[in-house]
Structure 1
Amino acid sequence: MTRCIYVQRVIFEVLKLLSKEIIESIKSKLNIVDVISEYVVLQRVGKNFRGLCPFHSEKTPSFYVSREKGLYHCFGCGASGDVIKFVQEIEGITFIDAVKKLADRAGIKLPEISSSRNEYYAKYVKLYTKLANIYHKNIFKQNELLNYLMNIRKIELSIIRKFKIGFCPPNSKSAYFEAKNLGVANSELRKFGLVNSKGVDFHNNRLVFPVYNDKGSVVAFGSRVVPNTITDLPKYINTPETPFFSKSKEFFCSTNAFDIAKEANFIILVEGYFDVLSLNVCGFENTVAPMGTSLSNDQIKKISKITKNVILFFDSDDAGKKATINIIPKVEENNLNIAIVNSREFKDASEILQRKNQEHLKKYIESAIGYEEFLVEEFSKSLNINNPASVEAFLEKIQPFALRMLEKRPVRYENLIKIINSKLGIRETISRTLRTVQLKTLRLQYQFLYIFCDALKFFFAEIQKHL
């Protein structure tokens, strides 16, 4: 509701900024082929240009760009539009931000939006920043909490300062008093997600973790109940949705995490706040956590613009494993390379640092395995290779992942087959048969079926030998 009210507030200004004449002027001054060529390798085909579609995975180019019409169209997934739509989709940004970006490129000065929008955002950020500093100062007055962070969680002081970890006291009304100083109305505090229905700070009596946006500004808080506190409230909570914060778009990380990930050419994706902090202690500053266990399309797009290499390090409990398995197809669909850290006897990165040390945690990162190996390991936990029904259940679980690999990642698919062969004890003669099947001109959905059937035939034959 708050976000809708805000949109209504600025929509008139947006329409004033983006007149039809301005939009057409931007498009006429830009060569759509030049713009798209910065993202896609294009080749001339007659009057048009063709390349691999950036919006879905394909081997045969079906993405066409017409310089004459100023349009693009993919015959594979149906994506189409003009240069503004392309930049909006490929960058994962709003329409107005795409217009601003292309206007700068075209050398066109846009009319200024009324300062009310900027002032509203400035107040929001200023208030969050002020509270983040207050909460951060509070942590140094709490010896028990500092002991918990530094001696139990093993979070170094430099990391506590870097992330501005804080403490919001019980029944605190810091948000109310700071809002008053800044001229922010009480009604705005609820919209900003800073107070509860009683006017008390939303994150009171909690450890507080500031959440930064792409500009390095504090736009939200995550928080954890104080250790050893008896409460019915959730252990972890986030700031509610606000005009400038959506948990499906942001990550918990340091302000320079994505810059470091770009330089290192890989990013580590973890589940919780303390996992991020623990890996930062070990020097892995390119670690980020989604605001939950799922990963949205906006978050995946944000990662894909930085690097194509992702290490997934979610919790080792059932919920964490399920989240990892659910994320793999999403990440794979965006042509990202995936490796998995399987912490096995430890719940997560934070627990490894707590119970062991930095070197031990580093070794887990270095021992990340391919996702095909992870899938076989997970799906074969209840496998009984002497039971055909058990083998069938195992292959059925892994089949959809295998089909995607066969279509998009043939090298990964080959490795998957080798791992399955090894796990099931299939002989080399059977392995050759499986590889031969891949070369047959059958429909994609039947290819893995042949592998499945050959494996079962082999097992039935082996069982009959011992009857």
Structure 2
Amino acid sequence: DKNPSCSFEPNRKIFTCFTCGFKASDIFSFWAQYKKINLEEAVEEIGKMGYFPLSIWREKKQQEQKEKNKIFYLLLLINDIYQHNLLIQPGREVLNYLQNERQLDKKTIDRFGLGSSINNWQLTNSEGKIVAFAARKIGEIPAGEGKYKYLPSYQYYQKSSLLYNYPTAKKMRSEECYLVEGFFDVISLGKVGVENCVALLGTNLSEEQIKLLIELKKRIILFLDNDQAGQEATINVAVKLLLREVDCEIIKNNYSGDPDEICRKQDKENIQNILQNRENPYLFILHHYFTK
């Protein structure tokens, strides 16, 4: 067959159907995709068919869960320490930064789990478990150094597979979810009552993050920064969402600042007007390239 519709690679133990895009690496991933269930459910079902001893797999999963719970518990303790640090020196410098420069009240600081390490955010998985921390440098930042610092990836954390504030947005009954760039964009919007919001933690949208957005089953409203880099990022993100047939709109931000600055400088009425000033993504892309 000069144009095969299906490819089998026994050495790599994978197969791919080029017609429908179906691919799997073993019987478990095949069954999970075929039945539209998760991998653990697929293992359970195949085990019940008698193809392998299910008790051994369950014992292994229980051990893995115990190890995972230990890590999550340790991260929870660390987060408590970071939050307590705000009440003592030198953490008070961070508290002053959050309250004065970022205009955050105690309720907002507590709600988002902000603390001092010197300044960190909890990064949670889709189940709301703390899996890592991120920090922002305060004060003067030397040229060439980034403002934000993230933990290296490990078994239960890859930055590209998370969306900040995802567990909260998932619980919201709203039919929409705002997609922004950074932590403070989410926090400032939350402060003015817009809680159905998640952050990319940058400008690139990964395949894992797209899957999370699809799982929300909500219209995605893009509200990225209004500078040149933000505009280009908006188009790149919109194209990725459109290719996956995700319903989305783009906020026509006529202000120079990012969502965090807008929320700190505008009153609630103006903020609501900005949030409702939207454009079809196709028109946004056309306007961007043909009105230069």
Coarse TM-score class (shorter-chain normalised): 0.7 to 0.9
Task: Give a deviation string over 1:133-185, Cα, whole Å, max 9, x none.
Answer: 111111233444333323332223222111110111xxxxxxxxxxxxxxxxx
Q: Structure 1 residue 101: deviation in Å? A: 7.1
> Aligned residue for 1:85?
30
Checking the alignment, whether the CA contact within 8 Å between 1:222 and 1:238 is kept in structure 2 is yes
> Aligned residue for 1:164?
113
Q: Structure 1 residue 342: deviation in Å? A: 2.8
Q: Structure 1 residue 91: deviation in Å? A: 7.2
> Aligned residue for 1:130?
77
Task: Give a deviation string over 1:165-218, Cα, whole Å, max 9, x none.
Answer: 0111xxxxxxxxxxxxxxxxxxxxxxxxxxxxxxxxxxxxx3101111122211
Checking the alignment, whether the CA contact within 8 Å between 2:28 and 2:46 is kept in structure 1 is no
Task: Give a deviation string over 1:249-283, Cα, whole Å, max 9, x none.
Answer: 111116422121xx212211100010010111122
Unaligned runs of 5+ in 1: 1-72, 169-205, 383-467
SS in 2 for 1:256: helix
SS in 1 for 2:216: coil
- The 1:214–1:78 alpha-carbon spacing in structure 2 relative to 1, beyond 3 Å, is closer
SS in 2 for 1:305: helix
SS in 1 for 2:159: coil
Q: Structure 1 residue 305: deviation in Å? A: 1.7
CA distance in structure 2 between the partners assigned to 1:294 and 1:305 by the alignment = 19
CA distance in structure 2 between the partners assigned to 1:279 and 1:102 by the alignment = 44
**Paired AA for residue 251 in structure 1:** L
CA distance in structure 1 between the partners assigned to 2:113 and 2:124 by the alignment = 11
CA distance in structure 1 between the partners assigned to 2:168 and 2:248 by the alignment = 22
State which of 231, 235, 246 in structure 1 corresponds to 2:147: 235
Task: Give a deviation string over 1:53-107, Cα, whole Å, max 9, x none.
Answer: xxxxxxxxxxxxxxxxxxxx988434267895364599796x4x3525757999x
Equivalence map 1:224-303=2 (5 Å)? 224-228=136-140, 230=142, 233-253=145-165, 255-260=167-172, 263-303=173-213
> Aligned residue for 1:194?
none
Is 1:315 aligned with 2:229? Answer: no
**Paired AA for residue 277 in structure 1:** I
State which of 34, 39, 42 in structure 2 corresponds to 1:99: 42
Unaligned runs of 5+ in 2: 1-15
**Paired AA for residue 358 in structure 1:** K
Equivalence map 1:355-370=2 (5 Å)? 355-370=265-280
- The 1:110–1:158 alpha-carbon spacing in structure 2 relative to 1, beyond 3 Å, is farther
> Aligned residue for 1:146?
95
- The 1:250–1:83 alpha-carbon spacing in structure 2 relative to 1, beyond 3 Å, is same
Equivalent residue pairs, number:
268
- The 1:239–1:304 alpha-carbon spacing in structure 2 relative to 1, beyond 3 Å, is same
CA distance in structure 2 between the partners assigned to 1:348 and 1:298 by the alignment = 25
Task: Give a deviation string over 1:105-149, Cα, whole Å, max 9, x none.
Answer: 99xx94223344223212211221111111111123344433332
Greater Rg by CA: 1
Equivalence map 1:344-423=2 (5 Å)? 344-382=254-292
CA distance in structure 2 between the partners assigned to 1:89 and 1:149 by the alignment = 49
RMSD: 3.0
> Aligned residue for 2:3?
none
Checking the alignment, whether the CA contact within 8 Å between 1:279 and 1:349 is kept in structure 2 is yes
Task: Give a deviation string over 1:303-331, Cα, whole Å, max 9, x none.
Answer: 11221411011111111111111112210
Q: Structure 1 residue 227: deviation in Å? A: 3.1
Identical positions, percent: 27
CA distance in structure 1 between the partners assigned to 2:69 and 2:277 by the alignment = 44
Query: How high is the TM-score relative to the length of structure 1?
Result: 0.52
Which has the larger share of helix? 1
- The 1:310–1:245 alpha-carbon spacing in structure 2 relative to 1, beyond 3 Å, is same
- The 1:105–1:284 alpha-carbon spacing in structure 2 relative to 1, beyond 3 Å, is farther
**Paired AA for residue 85 in structure 1:** F
State which of 211, 216, 219 in structure 1 corresponds to 2:128: 216
CA distance in structure 2 between the partners assigned to 1:162 and 1:91 by the alignment = 36
CA distance in structure 1 between the partners assigned to 2:232 and 2:114 by the alignment = 30
Checking the alignment, whether the CA contact within 8 Å between 2:180 and 2:198 is kept in structure 1 is yes
